[in-house]
C-alpha cells in the first residue's frame, strides 16, 4: 500500500483541474514538483519528485487518472464540489485498502488530503496522506 499511496499522491497532482469528475480534467501540462507525507499505522514515510504531465493526461477525467494508479484500485465514489474533487478509492487483491480524500486546486498549486486503512477488512491499520504540488514549468 505504501507504493500505492505514493502513486496516489503523484496521480492526484496530474489531475489538477476543475469541472465534473466525469468531464475532461483539463490537466495543466508541464513539469510538476510534488511532496507527499504519509503514515501507515505508526510508521511515517514520504516521497517527493517531479512529474511531466503530457497531452494524454490532459484528456483524461479525474476518475480515469485515479483508476490508472494501480490495476487493483478503483474510484468507487467521486464528486467535484466548490471545495475540490472528493473521492473514495478502494484497493483489493493484496493488500486491501480504502482512502477517502479531497484534492484542492488553486492555479498552479494543489493540495491532497486523504485518510483510510490498509490490510484486510478484519485486521487493518490506519493510513493518512498529505501531499502538495506545484507546477514549476509549462514545459518538460
Q: In this predicted structure, what is the pLDDT of residue 9? A: 53
The C-alpha atoms of residue 66 and residue 8 are separated, in whole angstroms, by 7
Cell, residue 133: 504540488
Please report, rounded to a whole number, the percentage of residues in the chain having pLDDT higher than 90. Answer: 46
Q: In this predicted structure, what is the pLDDT of residue 17? A: 34
The stretch 4-22 carries a mean pLDDT of 45
The stretch 44-59 carries a mean pLDDT of 88
Residue range(s) defining the domain that contains residue 80: 2-137
The C-alpha atoms of residue 19 and residue 6 are separated, in whole angstroms, by 25
Cell, residue 135: 507546477
Lowest-confidence range among 36-40, 54-58, 101-105, 109-113? Answer: 54-58
Q: In this predicted structure, what is the pLDDT of residue 22? A: 42
Residue 99: burial class (beta carbons within 10 Å; 0-12, 13-18, 19+): buried
| Longest alpha-carbon distance in the chain | 46
How many domains, in total, are found in the chain? Answer: 1
Q: In this predicted structure, what is the pLDDT of residue 61? A: 80
1: pLDDT strictly greater than 90: no
The C-alpha atoms of residue 126 and residue 115 are separated, in whole angstroms, by 7
Residue 95: burial class (beta carbons within 10 Å; 0-12, 13-18, 19+): middle
86: pLDDT strictly greater than 60: yes
7: pLDDT strictly greater than 60: no
* DSSP reduced 3-state for 132: strand
101: pLDDT strictly greater than 90: yes
Amino acid at each position: 500500500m505504501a507504493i500505492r499511496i505514493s502513486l496516489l499522491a503523484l496521480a492526484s497532482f496530474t489531475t489538477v483541474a476543475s469541472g465534473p469528475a466525469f468531464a475532461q480534467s483539463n490537466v495543466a501540462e508541464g513539469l510538476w514538483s510534488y511532496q507527499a507525507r504519509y503514515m501507515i499505522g505508526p510508521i511515517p514515510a514520504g516521497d517527493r519528485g517531479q512529474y511531466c504531465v503530457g497531452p494524454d493526461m490532459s484528456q483524461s477525467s479525474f476518475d480515469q487518472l485515479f483508476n490508472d494508479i494501480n490495476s487493483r484500485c478503483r474510484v468507487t465514489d467521486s464528486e467535484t464540489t466548490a471545495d475540490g474533487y472528493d473521492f473514495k478509492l478502494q484497493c483489493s487483491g493484496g493488500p486491501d485498502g480504502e482512502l477517502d480524500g479531497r484534492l484542492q486546486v488553486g492555479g498552479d498549486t494543489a493540495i491532497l488530503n486523504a485518510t483510510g486503512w490498509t490490510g484486510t477488512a478484519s485486521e487493518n491499520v490506519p493510513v493518512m496522506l498529505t501531499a502538495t504540488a506545484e507546477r514549476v514549468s509549462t514545459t518538460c
